[in-house]
Structure formats: C-alpha cells, structure tokens
Amino acid sequence: MEPCMKTKLLIAAFALAAAQQTMAADSSSPWSVVAGAKAHTLSKGPLDLDINSLEFGAAYRFNDNLSVEGRLGLGVTEQMVTESVEFTQIEFGINRSAAVLAKAEYPTGNIGSVYAVAGVDQTVYNAKLLNTPFKGADHFSEVGLAYGVGYAFNLNSKTALTVEYIKKPTADFGSDLGFSASAIGVGFSFKL
C-alpha cells in the first residue's frame, strides 16, 4: 500500500472516531432520520389494489413523548386492473407522497414505545390506460388527514425498527371511484 493511501486511511479513521465520540457525547440531539417501505391498499367493494412505496424523512423531538415528522415517498410498484365490460386495462400506482405528522409516543420500558401519528398527507396517484385507442396517463392528487398507530422496537440507543398502520385520505382518481386508502409500513429511525 502506498504511503499516501495509508495517510488518507489513517486520517479517515481518526475523523470517523472523532465523529463517533462527538455523536456519543451529544446524545440529546432532537433530530432523527426515518426511512422505510409501505404496502398500500386501495379498496372499493370487491376490488383491492396493492401498491408499494419507499419513504424517507426527518423528525424533530420536542420531548420524550412528542415529535413532528416530515416524510417523502416514491411509488415503486403498480397494479394492473382489467375493466370487465370493455376489457380496458388500467395500471394504478403511486407517483409520490408527502406528509407532515405529529407523533405522540408512550415508552414501554427499554424495549421500545407505542405511538400514534396524525397529520396532513398528500399522495399523487398514477392511472394509466394501456390497451385502448385512447392510451394515456393521468395523475390524481389527494390531500387530507392521515392517522395511525405503530410500535418502535429499540435496537440500540440510537436506532429503532418501526412497524405502523396508517389510514390515508380517500383516493378518488378524479371520478366517483372513492377508494379507501391505508398503508402498513416497516422502517427504521436513526437518532442523530
């Protein structure tokens, strides 16, 4: 190994050790980063659409029981539905989402904490016509109240595994197709 490379590695190791000591010394930082995956279900009568998204965001903790989170999401899967009368195929998916949520937590010892979230959610859905002469795509944006519950399992003092259920605003797709929307998610929270 070249001496220059050894020096760079040594400097990087010292910088990493110093950063770790700084993070350990300042364990009271109110900020954390959240990331996860959600399985969304849109339901209307016998029709269920299952689509998935990835989310990331940041949280600011006011005290041990109250925080606020900002989340951004991107759709990663779509589901195709065939309309029975004209055999039109429509592909549904999530384009993007954004949410600002208040979070109330109740610690359950060292294991973790149960929490509830409520706030404003905006989800932009895609609907694409595939096998008709009028092929095209449209986006439908739904804004409204989102609320849910979850549990955060403490993996260590700075990392938690989260599992949550969220009820989202009704997805209308620009017509009278009022789909009930909900999501189940698994993610991680990293305290800074």
pLDDT for residue 92: 81
Contact assessment for residue 51 and residue 79, using Cβ atoms and an 8 Å cutoff:
yes
Domain assignments of the chain as residue spans, ordered by start: 27-191
What fold characterizes domain 27-191?
Answer: Porin (2.40.160)
Q: For tokens 């759709």, name the residue.
A: 75
pLDDT for residue 134: 62
Beta-bridge partners for 48: 43
Question: pLDDT-derived band of residue 5, with 50, 70 and 90 as boundaries?
Answer: low
Q: Is 171 exposed, middle or buried (0-12, 13-18, 19+ CB in 10 A)?
A: buried
HEC readout, the chain = CCHHHHHHHHHHHHHHHHHHHHHHHCCCCCEEEEEEEEEEEEEECCEEEEEEEEEEEEEEECCCCEEEEEEEEEECCEEEEECCCCCCEEEEEEEEEEEEEEEEEEECCCCEEEEEEEEEEEEEEEEEECCCCCCEEEEEEEEEEEEEEEEEEECCCCEEEEEEEEEEEEECCCCCCCEEEEEEEEEEEEEC
The structure tokens listed for 49 are 């659409």
CB neighbour list of residue 117: distance below 8 Å, 6 or more residues apart? 69, 101, 102, 103, 104, 146, 147, 148, 149, 150, 164, 166
Q: Encode pLDDT of 93-145 as tens digits.
A: 888 999 999 999 999 988 999 999 999 999 988 877 776 666 666 778 889 99
Contact assessment for residue 89 and residue 99, using Cβ atoms and an 8 Å cutoff:
no
pLDDT for residue 21: 46
Q: State pTM to two decimals.
A: 0.77
Q: Comparing 128 with 3, which gets the higher pLDDT?
A: 128
Q: Encode pLDDT of 16-45 as tens digits.
A: 554 444 444 445 799 999 999 999 888 877
- Cα dihedral sign, 53-58-62-63: positive
Residue 1 has pLDDT above 70, yes or no: no
Q: Encode pLDDT of 157-188 as tens digits.
A: 899 999 999 999 887 665 556 678 899 999 99
Give the mean model confidence (pLDDT) for residues 37-55: 85
pLDDT for residue 129: 75
